[in-house]
Chain A
Amino acid sequence: MPYKLDFQQIRELLTQPEAGMGYQIVESTMRDYDSLKGVVLNADVFIPFEKIQKIMGRQYVSYSAILLEAEQPGYIRKIRVISKEIELGEGKYFIKSNILPALKANITLTCKSENFKRFSDYKNDRRITASGGLLAGTFATTEEDARNVKTGTDAINRYAMPSDEPAIYVFTVKPTEKTEIRRGTVEPAYGKPGGGVEVIFVNGSSEKTVTGPDTIPAK
């Protein structure tokens, strides 16, 4: 049986990234405190894992038909987006997103004049060397994605940073052409939605490629 979400739950899910087009993978605490994993379609209706094949595997299935048979809101106490890596019939019933966290992405090379930003709540960010480079395995984001961040609080939410301190210091990274990076999407973590672009500098960046920090407002 599918379950409709209430208004507050829908609003909460809309702040979090999808696992693929039109769906999110979630864990729900039900009215009887049972914990169920499954998918939410359109931030609107929850289908537990064990019901996916029965509901989605029918010959003729439409979203409106699923809504019609769904239980009304009130059956779900709590719902949260979880890792995208749980196998829930993606490829068969759902089109899985090809967006991966950077740690699982292939290595690519930076282009000429491509810039990056690193947000930190430390002015003395230790991943930046005395000679103005990045240490191997340091994270940053693209300059384009960083335009979505206006405050230090935006940064810790978009990049799912574990600190509760706003990341108000912004370093600019201008790597040399063909620097090795892995590029991906931040997964939800530490109660924060993620969803931003993350880039790992696999071998760091060369000297004099990092400037800053500039400072942005905390809130």
Chain B
Amino acid sequence: MLKFPETGMGYQTVDVVLKSGEIIKDAVVLNAEDIKLPDEYSWLKLENISDVRVKK
């Protein structure tokens, strides 16, 4: 994440690609370490994620 520019002060927006093929669009990553996801994805674990794409 730190190789990519920020979207605003202290955060980056990303698309999260799940192993199921579903894409969660425009999620927010804070300080390159914490991701904010909609409540319906509260079940999500790291192993369910196949890719995180930083939006430019």
B31 touches A125 (CB 8 A): yes
* Chain A residues, Cβ within 8 Å of B4: 137
Q: Mark B5-49, 1 if CB is under 8 A from A, else 0.
A: 110111100000000000000001011110010000000000000
* Chain B residues, Cβ within 8 Å of A126: 2, 31-33
Q: A122-B30, A125-B31, A126-B31 are in contact. Are A161 and B2 (CB under 8 A)?
A: no
A83 at the interface (CB under 8 A from B): no
Q: How far is the CB of B18 from chain A (nearest CB, A)?
A: 21
A127 touches B6 (CB 8 A): yes
- Complex partner residue of B2 from A135, A160, A189, CB under 8 angstroms: A135
* Chain B residues, Cβ within 8 Å of A159: 8-9
- Complex partner residue of B10 from A120, A135, A200, CB under 8 angstroms: A120
- A33 to B8 CA separation, bound complex (whole angstroms): 32
- A120 to B33 CA separation, bound complex (whole angstroms): 13
A186 touches B6 (CB 8 A): no
Which residues in window 99-153 of A have CB below 8 A to B? 118-122, 124-127, 135-141
Residues of B that sit less than 8 Å from A by CB? 2, 4-6, 8-11, 28, 30-33, 36
A and B contact pairs by CB, cutoff 8 A, 13 listed? A118-B10, A121-B31, A125-B10, A126-B32, A127-B2, A127-B6, A137-B4, A138-B5, A139-B9, A162-B30, A163-B10, A167-B10, A198-B8
